[in-house]
Homo-oligomer: A and B are copies of this chain.
């Protein structure tokens, strides 16, 4: 049984998608060991508890970034998590944390990285006028939205799209590829060649 820790700051839609994927065994032989939020009022905490998932609220205020991350790491280690999944976690991680869990932290970003890193990626795509965008699951390294790519999915940008309609189209793909990426990483059937993560058959 592999153990997943999820970090959130808000409603945790991708956390719930991972919980569904675990429950339906699209992510086989795994469980969500803990959901940690740096925002104590995050809606995702209640939604996780409703599903019987353990939650921890760790307010980041009044601590340095590394102090906060060490507190999170202690909670993750206490539950022996194999993989840390960011799901709308809205803070940068310290270098200490990314090194401590190297190659074991995943993030999902709503663009085809390296295009449109950072906040409001969907609106960035609309403003730039691209015809396709999508989402990316990647390993987290010390640079924002930068680590090796595990999975991507493509969606069209339609002429009448607003940030809301485009975000909704991308979110469906986020939920799908995040589960696929977690299953791939926990299954161990991949190799890392430089920045390239190649699935082994």
Contact = CB atoms under 8 A, between A and B. Distances in A.
Interface of A: 112-116, 126-132, 134, 148-149, 151-152, 154, 159, 194-199
Q: Which 5 A-B pairs give the minimum distances between C-beta atoms? A: A131-B152, A129-B195, A129-B196, A115-B115, A159-B198
Copies of this chain, tallied across the complex: 2
A196 B126 CA distance: 8
Chain B CB within 10 A, most for which of A127, A130, A134: A130
A31 to B, nearest CB: 28
B131 A149 contact: yes
Given A132-B154, A134-B132, A127 B159 contact: no
A180 to B, nearest CB: 11
Nearest to A149: B129
A2 to B, nearest CB: 24
A149 B195 CA distance: 28
